Structure 1
């Protein structure tokens, strides 16, 4: 392939392409639509992901929080959250592809990024989740599903940006899979099933 994709500034548009790249495994049609909405080519999406991975893996590179600030700018809002004995700083950035969501980064004492994913924007209406049929891809976040289907049990995801929840009980259960905190699919759980 002759020309490499341009290596201009890496900003919010490119970061959204990184989010989409991981989601394409489960929602290729929705990712294609979103990519077109960003006026990006498949090559640009691959290049954005390559550049992001290079930033993440760079020896002596920026820490995760500095990387997010460099790419996304100053957060739209900041706050604090207490989990057990720890107090976290919470930073939120808008995500134009999903105006009702925010990209949340939780920073532990000492500056380490503890969690990074999509959450519902403050004040935005959450979807009504009464049953498994209401779990539509890209409609809800990990926290929303965990609350609606308590006690949902966390499961290990198949990649660093993936997360899963086991829903239901002994008689009938499902696995809800998320990428970057956004629901991708729900599968019936079979005996001893993990997630793909």
Structure 2
């Protein structure tokens, strides 16, 4: 007799959609901010097992030998982009595709396309027209408070640091501990473009 299906385990029968993709974002962020991820998971009404299953399915799609192009994969999962913007990077003009992410209403998931259609970058950015956070001291750099470009603009000059894993970015910033204080170097780490933690350079 065949084995009965385990109805307590997360099913992979439903189409992979926007909610599943948000779980993929959260799965990577859980390494640094498990409490925030736990709160977000409850908002979505999903279990830890469902979050892991969503990440497993996403990784299978990315690594499949029959995988479609990255931008086609995002369109199939997230639907039609909310907006398509033109971005200038030096002498090149690129296209930025933006999708909403309900967990972060003021953010958008951005896929940046090179002129030949290749995906250059995939991360969270501030939504067009949404107010940027006020970043003046280290106390303002709290988890999920800002994006890579916002931190870089607030504390120039920002030097890129090698990310500790795929989908992670680092910035070396000079940030005062208090208003008007002397700037000190800090290492800011981002996952999918969103700030996760700030520490001393060269330390975990």
Scaled by the length of structure 1, the TM-score of the pair is 0.93
Query: Separation in 2 of the partners of 1:57 and 1:88?
Result: 26
| 1:118 counterpart residue number | 124
Q: Distance between the aligned counterparts of 1:157 and 1:143, measured in 2?
A: 15
The equivalences for 1:54-133 within 5 A come to 54-133=60-139
Name 1:29's counterpart in structure 2.
Answer: 35
- Indicate whether 1:174 and 2:189 are aligned: no
Q: Quote the residue 1:147 is aligned against.
A: 153
**In 2: Cα distance, 1:102 partner to 1:82 partner:** 19
TM-score by length of 2: 0.90
* Residues 152-188 of structure 1, C-alpha deviations (whole Å, 9 max, x = no match): 101110111000100118x831001100000001002
The count of aligned residue pairs is 191
Give the aligned CA root-mean-square deviation in angstroms: 1.6
Query: Residues 61-114 of structure 1: CA distance to partner in whole angstroms, max 9, x if unpaired?
Result: 111000000000000000111111221110000000000000000011221110
Q: Partners of 2:47 and 2:66 in 1: how far apart?
A: 31
Give SS of 2:120's match: strand
CA deviations over 1:118-177 (Å, ceiling 9, x no partner): 0000111111101111111101000000000010101110111000100118x8310011
Say which one has the larger Rg: 2
Where 1:116 maps in the other structure, the secondary structure is: strand
Pick from 3, 11, 14: which aligns with 1:6? 11
**For structure 1, which runs of at least 5 residues remain unmatched after alignment?**
none
